[in-house]
Structure 1
Amino acid sequence: MRVCWDRRASDEIQEQRGSFDVERLMKKIGFLSFGHWSDAAGSATRSASDSLLQAIELAVAAEEVGVDGAYFRVHHFARQQGSPFPLLAAIGARTSRIEIGTGVIDMRYENPLYFAEDAGAADLISGGRLQLGVSRGSPEQVLEGYKYFGYVPGDGESDADMARRHTAVMLDAVSGVAFAEPNPNPMSPHPGGPLRIEPHSPGLRERIWWGAGTRATAVWAAEQGMNLMSSTLLTEDSGVPFHVAQAQQIAAFREAWKAAGHEWEPRTSVSRSIFPITTDLDRAYFGRERNSSDQVGHIDGGVGVFGRSYAGEPDELIEKLAGDEAIAAADTLLLTIPNQLGVEYNAHVLESIVKDVAPGLGWR
């Protein structure tokens, strides 16, 4: 792990952030669930049914305690949530305010037009509350799993290139671009001219996020007009602390967005594992995380930097989190949760962050 860094890098971030400081102080706070289930000892989420139904109940509980978003990780061939849109639609039907999203959907596995249909339907059910994070994805449970779904990179194309190609088609479809030649003798009337994917949900295009692991992919996301989603993992090691590198990523994204001249204001999110210790049960679960630090390792054939977890009493957390430059730079904070500890416990953690920690940092 590298512990030395140049203060000038931090000063540059502060200068670039400039006028954003007041705007970014207030945070949208969401949770990010990986949706694990297992029948291991201590698991309160023992089946796929448990994982899905508890996700709905946790979103309802999170809305009640003032959380702003319910987000879900998507993995295939794993005991996790692999098909997000039925879950997102169900949460949309049970809630009224909370944002509902993904972090992230692996576009190597996606039919972009089917994606647009499912996304449009779920967004309409929720009243326009979807925030969909997509990306090239991360290492999966099986080798080249996207091939089992029928997707193979073209000649000279990598799997990452294929994911971006799928994303480009999806963005056009979600935007409402009409492209399909109509049948002159249709089974039902149509307006004539090229047809678009239906149902179309106006505004959804501006609520698509790209999960970026590097500064270069953050810049690319800005150029494509997607919001920036940065997780607890970066796939490059720039030699500075994780939160500083992530803040640099956000600064590069904003600069590229401005240069691209998009007509709407982008959003940026970072993910963190944060656990207030207010009970003996909290201490038993997360007391050992008090001295967590960034970790450098290897993932998917390259270097990965994993951000630290934060655990401590609320006052202790407020002091630690005040120095996190990426959280300060982002407008949205996604809290990774241990979903297998059950709905009641996770609702307790979220409520403690919203009521005991966020106000002390000016997020509420």
Structure 2
Amino acid sequence: MKKIGFLSFGHWSASPHSQTRSAADFLHQSIDLAVAAEELGVDGAYFRVHHFARQAGSPFPLLSAIGARTSKIEIGTGVIDMRYENPLYMAEEAGAADLISGGRLQLGISRGSPEQVIDGWRYFGYAPAEGETDADMARRRTEIFLEVLKGEGFAEPNPRPMFANPPGLLRVEPHSEGLRDRIWWGSGSNATSVWAAKLGMNLQSSTLKDDETGEPLHVQQRKQIEAYREAWQEDGHTREPRVSVSRSIFALTTDEDRAYFGRDRHSRDQVGMIDENTRAIFGRSYAAEPDELVRELKEDEAVQAADTLLLTIPNQLGVDYNVHVLENILTHVAPELGWR
């Protein structure tokens, strides 16, 4: 069995071709889609986070609202850029969202990706310490965040507090037991996947990865997953880690499907530079009739290796069409692959 979730980039646009024309549209439609996805049997509702963009920038209100409207579906992110986050305040927000959902939060975090503005985290009041890069800053904040989520006291109490304190040092509240084990690291390289394993985080690998060997994305990701699991085992963690990969997959069953995605039948991996120093590989889309999709996905080594598959969805096409996209995969593809 493989868990199947959707991943929304949360775009909105005033274009007449978009069904999601405002931030309010995106937020309300995301809640409605998560409710409908749960009814279909989808396992997870995940959202990408980008700042300074017409996308989801503040995920916790949305995750909390979905948690209050649903009862089973996992809710999460893929990913939150830790360069922008205050780890202690984030722990408070994450704890509250997890408690509202009854322990269903699956929080993907990372160093982030190229952003809409130059050094956007500086506008949020953050800067790397002397000798640090922005990536170093993100990883340092991640380690603080993980430590706080353990729920251990660390803050000296006021001897004359407004309200009575429990004995000992105080922790960030609200604390949600078990959330520490449901933090994922969005890794773009083999080295950071090994680092995530050593810290006891689950692994998210998206459709974009550092091109480290020149091989197809799915092969590089499979090797990344193997390196991660080997490091996890070597570090002696007692629980089983989780691993997700993201894919754009469309089963062409209607003329509307073919009109939207038929051009992606011959999609291939693409390679390019995402900054001055990083050569990256961007994964292909899958678009075909269901029987052909089954054949192609059997050959995707990373999809086969992962326990969780996140389907990137075209959220601007509206709730009804995205329900159709998800239902196509659950009905026509997943059973043939033994995922359902």
Aligned with 2:233 (options 253, 258, 265): 258
**Correspondence 1:173-188 to 2 at 5 A:** 173-188=148-163
**Correspondence 1:296-307 to 2 at 5 A:** 296-301=271-276, 302-307=278-283
In structure 2, what is the Cα distance between the partners aligned to 1:68 and 1:300? Answer: 34
1:360 and 2:319 correspond: no
Post-superposition offset of 1:116? 0.2
Post-superposition offset of 1:61? 0.7
Aligned to 2:325: 349
In structure 1, what is the Cα distance between the partners aligned to 2:249 and 2:6? Answer: 11
In structure 1, what is the Cα distance between the partners aligned to 2:161 and 2:331? Answer: 57
In structure 1, what is the Cα distance between the partners aligned to 2:223 and 2:280? Answer: 16
Aligned residues: 339
Aligned with 2:57 (options 50, 60, 82): 82
Structure 1 unaligned spans of 5+: 1-25
Q: Is the 8 A contact 1:318 1:357 kept in 2?
A: yes
Q: Quick one: percent identity of the two aligned structures?
A: 72
3-state SS, counterpart of residue 354 of structure 1: helix
* Offset from partner CA, 1:232-265 (integer Å, 9 cap, x none): 0002231211101000000000000001111211
Tell me the TM-score normalised to structure 1 length: 0.92
**Correspondence 1:1-364 to 2 at 5 A:** 26-301=1-276, 302-364=278-340
* Offset from partner CA, 1:54-106 (integer Å, 9 cap, x none): 00000001111110000000000000000000000000000000000000000
In structure 2, what is the Cα distance between the partners aligned to 1:319 and 1:90? Answer: 38
Q: Which amino acid aligns with 2:73?
A: I
99-108 or 176-185, which deviates more: 176-185
Post-superposition offset of 1:300? 2.4
Structure 2 unaligned spans of 5+: none
* Offset from partner CA, 1:277-304 (integer Å, 9 cap, x none): 0000000000000010111011022111
Q: Is the 8 A contact 1:213 1:236 kept in 2?
A: no
Q: Which amino acid aligns with 1:317?
A: L
In structure 2, what is the Cα distance between the partners aligned to 1:288 and 1:90? Answer: 36
Q: Which amino acid aligns with 2:308?
A: T
* Offset from partner CA, 1:288-345 (integer Å, 9 cap, x none): 0001011101102211100110001111100110100001100000000010000000
In structure 2, what is the Cα distance between the partners aligned to 1:337 and 1:238? Answer: 29
In structure 2, what is the Cα distance between the partners aligned to 1:300 and 1:140? Answer: 11
3-state SS, counterpart of residue 148 of structure 1: helix
In structure 2, what is the Cα distance between the partners aligned to 1:134 and 1:91? Answer: 19
3-state SS, counterpart of residue 146 of structure 1: helix
Post-superposition offset of 1:192? 1.9
In structure 2, what is the Cα distance between the partners aligned to 1:174 and 1:300? Answer: 33
In structure 2, what is the Cα distance between the partners aligned to 1:61 and 1:295? Answer: 33
3-state SS, counterpart of residue 271 of structure 2: strand
In structure 1, what is the Cα distance between the partners aligned to 2:91 and 2:261? Answer: 40
In structure 1, what is the Cα distance between the partners aligned to 2:151 and 2:93? Answer: 14
In structure 2, what is the Cα distance between the partners aligned to 1:253 and 1:76? Answer: 29
In structure 1, what is the Cα distance between the partners aligned to 2:126 and 2:47? Answer: 23
Q: Which amino acid aligns with 1:104?
A: V
Q: Is the 8 A contact 1:214 1:249 kept in 2?
A: yes
In structure 2, what is the Cα distance between the partners aligned to 1:175 and 1:107? Answer: 18
Q: Which amino acid aligns with 2:147?
A: D
In structure 2, what is the Cα distance between the partners aligned to 1:193 and 1:232? Answer: 46
Q: Is the 8 A contact 1:230 1:246 kept in 2?
A: yes
Q: Which amino acid aligns with 2:303?
A: I
Shift >2 Å, 4+ stretches: none
